[in-house]
């Protein structure tokens, strides 16, 4: 479905999501359409250099302007998460995306957001990024919903159908059918 002319600017978009270690090396990086054609390694180095000495308390985020884009970032013990949007993007929305991502990662990685744990659970980190943003469009900002989807649970936190007994699966399917029929 094509967007109406002029409506593209009304929908918040993300240009990139980056997870970098304490030395600026890439853990996870996703660049989305709509992002300018960056030299990704140079952009990441420039972004890290600009933020490595930032006096940001742990658990707090900060905003910077870089290459005509706005980047919201949060620091862990030895890792940093960045959400990058265009310069006219709302920083509060980008911060909500960042909070959802980092909080989901923290919950899924045993209560810590550090480089070693992210590297050891790279697939979980990549799934978190994919559940938060797809193609630049923001899908979810609630950390619990993201964590449940990464763990292949429903948003309600139910048990995955593959872990159910046959009678539980049939009961769940029946309930879902009745819910759809009642709406």
Q: Tell me: the pLDDT tens digits for 64-73?
A: 999 889 999 9
State which H helix or E strand residue 31 sits in.
strand 26-31
Question: Tell me, what DSSP letter sits at residue 126?
Answer: H
Neighbour-count burial for 154-180, b at 16+ CB within 10 Å, e otherwise: eeeeeeeeeeeeeeeeeeeeeeeeeee
What does the block give as tokens for 131? 């559940």
Q: Is the pTM of this model over 0.85?
A: no
- pLDDT at 3 exceeding the cut of 60: no
Walk me through the domains of the chain, giving residue ranges and CATH numbers: 8-150 (3.30.450.60)
From residue 50, alpha-carbon distances to 55, 64, 73, 99 in Å are 12, 9, 11, 21
Q: Give the Cα separation of 133 and 139 in Å (integer).
A: 5
Q: Tell me: the pLDDT tens digits for 143-153?
A: 999 999 998 87
pLDDT at 140: 93
pLDDT at 165: 75
Q: Give the Cα separation of 27 and 118 in Å (integer).
A: 7
- pLDDT at 174 exceeding the cut of 70: yes
Neighbour-count burial for 29-58, b at 16+ CB within 10 Å, e otherwise: bbbbeebeebeeeebbeebbeebeeeeeee
Residues above pLDDT 90, as percent of the chain: 52
User: Which residues fall within 8 angstroms of residue 102, CB to CB, at 6 or more apart?
Assistant: 74, 76, 81, 113
Pairing of strands 16-21, 79-86: antiparallel
pLDDT at 183: 61
pLDDT at 1: 46
Helical segments of the chain, H only:
40-51, 91-108, 115-120, 122-132, 143-150, 166-182
User: Which residues fall within 8 angstroms of residue 37, CB to CB, at 6 or more apart?
Assistant: none
- pLDDT at 161 exceeding the cut of 60: no
Q: Give the Cα separation of 138 and 96 in Å (integer).
A: 10
- pLDDT at 162 exceeding the cut of 60: no
Q: Tell me: the pLDDT tens digits for 35-53?
A: 566 788 899 999 999 998 8
């Amino acid at each position: 479905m094509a967007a109406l002319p002029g409506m593209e600017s009304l929908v918040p978009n993300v240009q990139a999501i980056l997870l970098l270690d304490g030395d600026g090396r890439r853990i996870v990086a996703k660049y989305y359409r709509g992002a300018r054609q960056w030299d990704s390694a140079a952009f990441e180095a420039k972004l890290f250099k600009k933020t490595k000495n930032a006096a940001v308390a742990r658990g707090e985020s900060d905003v910077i302007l870089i290459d005509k884009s706005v980047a919201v970032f949060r620091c862990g013990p030895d890792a940093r998460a960045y959400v990058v949007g265009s310069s006219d993007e709302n920083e509060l929305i980008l911060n909500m995306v960042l909070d959802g991502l980092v909080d989901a990662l923290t919950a899924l990685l045993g209560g810590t957001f550090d480089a070693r744990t992210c590297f050891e659970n790279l697939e979980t980190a990549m799934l978190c990024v994919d559940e938060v943003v797809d193609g630049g469009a923001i899908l979810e900002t609630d950390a619990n919903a993201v964590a449940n989807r990464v763990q292949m649970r429903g948003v309600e936190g139910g048990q995955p159908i593959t872990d159910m007994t046959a009678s539980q699966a049939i009961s769940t399917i029946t309930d879902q059918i009745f819910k759809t029929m009642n709406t």
